Structure 1
Amino acid sequence: MIFTVNHVTTYRYDAPMRSAVQSLRLFPSRFDGQRTVSWEVKVEGGTRGGSFRDGAGDKIEGWSIRGPVSEVSIAVTGQVETIDLAGVLRGHRELVHPFAYLRETTATWIDDALDLLARESIAGANDDLARAHALARGVGEAISYTPGATDARTTAAEALAQGEGVCQDHAHAVCAVARAVGMPARYVSGYLYARDDGELHDASHAWAEIWVEGIGWIGFDAANECCPDARYIRLGSGLDAREAAPIKGIALGAGEEELDVTVALEAVQQ
């Protein structure tokens, strides 16, 4: 499939800020499942800095904005071609060893309930691929997808305890249960065109990848009970949502921040 992407993130401040700096992980991953036809990232009033590709294979670009700053607008426009690889991240070049993704974070801290869910989910699974699917299925059954049920600070343990959450919570929980049984896992940020029921998905999306020996990284979207296919555009990864965030930044000043995000994906060819 070929998609056009329009993604605008705007930060507004109730008092002018002295300056702002942004680190952007807003570029499509390079692997066999997707090809960037065109892509442009602009920061209104900003100065483009250096860019590099990190050890996980993600491109990161820096921007700075001189003050006084009352608003920062980051606009992404582009076109990406995708194909279905059944969730396998084939042809992706990276340097970080998979075992680095066995580390816990605050968001993916494994409590007794997550550990129990992990071990109950893989009962009867006879290989790592079956275990990975069972873990994602277990998370999807234990945490109901409920928009607005959690916020950016909610941990996997908290989402499991209340039995509902959003895609970020499902991704964190999959990472947690996989690591609980010794399988490397990481959080992935990107876009999703539509859910299985055909409902348009009007926001950025998140899922998880689990390392399966002999195959490599495989994506699992527990919120939608599937592996990423041609409807997904992959941007970047990390140990959790904070590390994989498409936009990280800081503004210097005393103003309070307000955030507005709009994402539009359109399929131009299937």
Structure 2
Amino acid sequence: MILTIRHETTYDYSTPLAYTIQQLHLTPRIEPQQRALSWQIATPGQSHAYTDAYGNLSQMLTINGRHNALKLVAHGVVETIFPYQGRLNLEDTLSPLLFTMPTRLTESGPTIVELAGANLPDRGSPPGTRHLLRLAESIAGKVAYESGATEVTTTAIDALALGRGVCQDHAHLYLACCHAWGVPARYVSGYIDPGNTGHAASHAWIDAWAVDSDYAGWVSIDVTHARLMTDAYCRLAIGRDYDSAAPVRGVRRGGGKETLSVDVQIASAP
């Protein structure tokens, strides 16, 4: 599939800023099932390109001097290949065990342990793809999709208690369940051709470690839609949670009240 993507992020401030630093994960990852045919990022200030510890193509953006707004535009064309059974078949240099430790956003609790136990095999028995999809279906059923119901700081425990959230909450809750069971799982940020789902084109989902009769490795699962990743997805970054894989994340000095506007447009063709 060919995905034409345009991602515009605009920050407006009530008073001038003196300094901004942003970590950008706005470049598609280099992976077997996707490749960027063209890709550009337009930013103010100075940017430094690097590859982070998770293999994400990243930029560090710094802006010195007074400014009242910040606009970032990433756009390009990505070719994707349908991954059979959501399997990534990566030559990964990172041990999957790196993705078994909880973070502040993916900490476990009694309700999460109960949810994991109801959907995953006994501890010590690696889950197959069918178990992992069953967990996704359960989470999508317990946490209804509702834009604006949570914040980027909302934890997995809080999202489950609230019963409402967005894709990042579904992903964090899934990771919390897997980590409580010792199953490697990691956060994915990227884009999805939303079709007629009504959901945002900027998306978050997960990779989990599956052991099937003919495969052992990462399987990518969209928890919000309770389905395996297809060629309608473009992967930007992986990490342990939102904080390490967010498309844009940073700090500023000054600025007063911040207003954020994000517009993502995706067109697809076979």
Query: Could you say whether these structures have the same fold, taking a TM-score greater than 0.5 normalized by the shorter chain as the test?
Result: yes
The percent of aligned pairs where both chains have the same amino acid is 34
Query: What secondary structure does 2:60 align onto?
Result: strand
Deviation at 1:29, TM superposition (A): 1.2
Aligned partners of 1:57 and 1:95 also within 8 Å: no
- Provide, for residues 55-107 of structure 1, a one-character-per-residue CA deviation record: whole Å limited to 9, x for no partner: 3221111122221111110100100011110322223x543211111111111
Residue 102 of structure 2 corresponds to: 104
Deviation at 1:237, TM superposition (A): 1.1
Aligned runs of 1:187-266 on 2, under 5 Å?
187-194=187-194, 198-199=196-197, 201-213=199-211, 214-266=215-267
Give the letter aligned to residue 68 of structure 2. Answer: S
Deviation at 1:221, TM superposition (A): 1.1
- CA RMSD between the two structures: 1.9
Query: What secondary structure does 1:17 align onto?
Result: strand
Deviation at 1:190, TM superposition (A): 0.5
Aligned partners of 1:20 and 1:69 also within 8 Å: no
Query: What secondary structure does 1:128 align onto?
Result: coil
Runs of 5+ in structure 2 lacking a partner? none
Give the letter aligned to residue 117 of structure 2. Answer: R
Deviation at 1:151, TM superposition (A): 2.1
Query: What secondary structure does 1:39 align onto?
Result: strand
Partner Cα separation in structure 2 for residue 221 and residue 177 of structure 1: 15
Deviation at 1:254, TM superposition (A): 4.9
Aligned partners of 2:120 and 2:127 also within 8 Å: no
Aligned partners of 2:167 and 2:204 also within 8 Å: yes
Aligned partners of 2:143 and 2:165 also within 8 Å: yes
Deviation at 1:111, TM superposition (A): 0.7
Give the letter aligned to residue 83 of structure 1. Answer: I
Give the letter aligned to residue 258 of structure 2. Answer: E
- Provide, for residues 152-202 of structure 1, a one-character-per-residue CA deviation record: whole Å limited to 9, x for no partner: 22211111112221111110011011111110111110011125xx33544
Aligned partners of 2:178 and 2:184 also within 8 Å: yes
- Provide, for residues 87-144 of structure 1, a one-character-per-residue CA deviation record: whole Å limited to 9, x for no partner: 22223x5432111111111111101000000001125897521332232222222222
Aligned partners of 1:55 and 1:95 also within 8 Å: no
Residue 87 of structure 2 corresponds to: 88
Q: Normalised by the size of structure 2, how large is the TM-score?
A: 0.91
Aligned partners of 1:207 and 1:220 also within 8 Å: yes
Aligned partners of 1:192 and 1:205 also within 8 Å: yes
- Provide, for residues 237-268 of structure 1, a one-character-per-residue CA deviation record: whole Å limited to 9, x for no partner: 1111111111122222252221111100011x
Aligned runs of 1:1-270 on 2, under 5 Å?
1-43=1-43, 45-49=44-48, 51-85=49-83, 86-91=85-90, 93-122=91-120, 128-129=127-128, 130-194=130-194, 198-199=196-197, 201-213=199-211, 214-267=215-268, 269-270=269-270
Partner Cα separation in structure 2 for residue 78 and residue 147 of structure 1: 27
Partner Cα separation in structure 2 for residue 257 and residue 87 of structure 1: 38
Count of equivalent residues: 264
Runs of 5+ in structure 1 lacking a partner? none
Structure 1, 227-236 or 15-24: larger mean CA deviation: 15-24
Partner Cα separation in structure 1 for residue 121 and residue 185 of structure 2: 19
